[in-house]
Amino acid sequence: MGMLVVGACYAAVIGVLLLLAARVRRRGISAPILDVFDQCTARRGRA
């Protein structure tokens, strides 16, 4: 049960970061910390 909670928290954090990266990319704001997640969302958009 504990592993399920940890996995859900991990997924939530990654999901929030992906949403923030998409928002940053739409607004054209540069955020170096989100570069990896921005690239992730860009690849998903092309696929």
Please write the tens of the pLDDT for every residue from 1-27. Answer: 889 999 999 999 999 888 887 787 777
State if pTM tops 0.85. Answer: no
DSSP state of 28: T
Token digits for 14? 């990654």
Residue 38 has pLDDT above 70, yes or no: no
Q: What angle do CA 29, 43, 9 make, to 5 degrees?
A: 80
Q: Are the C-beta atoms of residues 26 and 42 closer than 8 Å to each other?
A: no
Distances (CA, A) of 29 to 6, 11, 36, 39, 41: 31, 25, 15, 14, 15
